[in-house]
A = this chain, B = another copy of it.
Amino acid sequence: MSIEKRLTDNGIILPEAPRPVANYIPATLVGKLLFVSGQLCLDQGKLNPDHIGKIGKNVTVENGVSAAKLCAINILAQAKAALGDLESIKSCVRLGGFINAAPGFTALPPIMNGASDLMVAILGEAGKHTRTTIGVAELPMGAAVEVEAIFEVK
């Protein structure tokens, strides 16, 4: 099944891939590796109030999972903008997950599953990746989740 069809089947419309406003770029291809900058849980370019703050405090687990999913969607949007076509992705190599965790909130992997599950839903077996999940002290704009990625291209 094509990646575009899987996006449609999952009801996902990739957002515009915003250009950073500072001296960095959203993605870069080096050899066969595509590095994607850390993506916040923006929803069509905006941070939903439900996705601002600390999971385990003012952000619910359910909203944390959807925040991680949004990060993964934004990663795919950046990959598509960089590559032209998601079909040129061979595999997702690594996701780095940064969870804005309230003190004592240690159930971080289920939050990060929101990103991992999306990647597999869209890329299939090729979406299975290595990952590292940590709880961070703060994230830009108070975002609940940030995720970075490395892909292998064909």
Number of copies: 3
- On chain B, the residues within 8 Å of A32 by CB distance are 30-31
Assembly CA distance A148 to B35 (angstroms): 15
Q: A116 within 8 Å of B by Cβ? A: yes
Q: A136 within 8 Å of B by Cβ? A: yes
Q: A33 within 8 Å of B by Cβ? A: yes
Number of chain A residues close to chain B: CB under 8 A = 56
Contact B31 A113 (CB under 8 A): no
Assembly CA distance A134 to B94 (angstroms): 17
Contact A106 B23 (CB under 8 A): no
Q: A84 within 8 Å of B by Cβ? A: no
Q: Which residues of A come within 8 Å of B, CB atoms?
A: 22-28, 30-33, 35-38, 91, 93-96, 98-99, 101, 103-109, 112-113, 116-117, 119-120, 127-142, 146, 148, 150, 152
